[in-house]
Amino acid sequence: MHTIPGIGKVLAAAILSEIGNIHRFAAPEKLVAFAGINPSLKQSGEFTGSQSHLSKRGSPYLRRAVWLAAFPASRFNPVFAAFYQKKREEGKVHRVALGAVSRKLLYTIFALLKSGQAYDPMLAR
């Protein structure tokens, strides 16, 4: 996992210790929900809110470690930097775009841990 630009050995260890066994999660969406980086909707009766926030359910330590890894990944990793720029061009503010990068980073981490391979930027697109 530390082959991903933006994730050092300390953050990789923190992320791995919080995830534990990757086979506990059947899909990457489950891992994102465990980290609390999935969007939550406000609904009541027939009302559905137009704004969503991070659910912040799950492990705060994993959420913090992924958030810390997403910032340098959005600057120095070409794949994540392009994704960050795309979100900014869509009109998203910095924190919302960084949340999207965090989700994409968790999807990538899930794929790497399931396959057991090193990070390849061509596969992350």
Instruction: Decide if 2 is inside a domain.
Output: no
Give the chain's residues under pLDDT 50.
none
Instruction: Decide if 8 is inside a domain.
Output: no
Instruction: Decide if 7 is inside a domain.
Output: no
pTM, 2 dp: 0.86
Distances (CA, A) of 63 to 49, 59, 94: 24, 6, 17
Instruction: Decide if 3 is inside a domain.
Output: no
Q: How many domains does the chain have?
A: 1
Range of the domain at 96: 23-115
